Structure formats: structure tokens, C-alpha cells
Amino acid sequence: MYIITRNIFRFVMVVLFQVLVMDNVMLNGYMVPYVYLLFILLMPFETPRWIVLISGFLLGLGIDLFEHTPGMHTAATVLLAFVRPYILSLLAPRDGYELETFPRVHFYGFTWFLKYTLLMVLVHHLALFYLEVFQLQNFLSTLSRVILSSILSASTIVLSQFFVFRK
């Protein structure tokens, strides 16, 4: 019961932090760090896939409700939840992941966490920003926005490992 309560609290805090704080941090007029992805990124390895998918749906829906974006964050976050096991298997250590560990810098090191975060954030941002414009007419400008926002979001997420999620 403690784990469920803790995750519900973490879910609410991540959504509120995103919509109340991070959405007000805008660089160059269009880059916002999306740190709400932390909820999906930091879920335990043993989490059943259906729970990750439902969590991704609820997380994206919560952000969509606050930001008035009709399903864009939901679609991108469900995609993120869907590809998470594939990215984790792609980056898995030779001996596999240790039981009862989490995808964090503390357990798997800075380089592993940076690769994991960059891949996950890039998948999310590609889906989100191309759904937002819903056309390929400005492909390169949208791609530059994806790359710059991914770097900003991934940097913020990696920094959180050292300031918020310490051992």
C-alpha cells in the first residue's frame, strides 16, 4: 500500500510541478523543459507493461487537461510508455538489470542514464511536436525544436538525479 500511495503522490507532484513551474520556463519563445516524463522514466524495471501504459495515458491526460492540448501529450506519453521496454532492452547491461533497482544514475551510472533519458525524451518530443504542427511543411524548423527541447528536457531530467533523487 505504501508503494501505491508514494507513486500517486509522485504522480500528482510531477504534474503540478510541470504545469505550475516548468510551463512558465520558456527559452527562445518555444522551448519548455518537460520534466513530467520523469514519472515514466523512473518507474521500476519490474513494473508490468499494462501499468506503465495506463500511467502514461493518465499522465499525458493530466498534462493535456492543464495545458489545453487536445490529446497531444497523451499520445506522446503513451508512445513513450510503449517504447520504454524496447529502449530498456536495447540499453540493458550484459548481466541484465538487478532486481528491485530503478533506472537511475545511482544504480547504472551517468552514461547509461544519459543515453536512456535522451532516447526516451527524443521519442516523446518527436511525437509531441510533430502532432502539434501536424504537417511536414516546416519539417526542419520542427526538427530543430525537437532537438533543442530534447536537450533542454534531458538536461533538466539528468540534473534532477543529482538534486532531487539522491540516494
- Each residue's pLDDT tens digit, 50-81: 999 999 999 999 999 998 888 999 999 999 99
What is the residue extent of each domain of the chain?
Answer: 2-163
* CA–CA separation, 118 and 115 (whole Å): 5
Does the pLDDT of residue 141 top 70, yes or no? yes
Does the pLDDT of residue 167 top 60, yes or no? no
Tell me how long the chain is. Answer: 167
CA angle 116, 119, 122 (to 5 degrees): 140
Does the pLDDT of residue 166 top 60, yes or no? no
Q: How many CB atoms lie within 10 A of CB 158?
A: 17
Q: Closest by alpha carbon to 22, among 12, 13, 32, 14?
A: 32
Task: Render pLDDT for 74-103 as a digit per residue (tens, 0 to 9).
Answer: 999 999 999 999 999 998 888 877 777 788
Half-sphere exposure of 163 toward its Cβ, with a 13 Å CA cutoff? Answer: 6
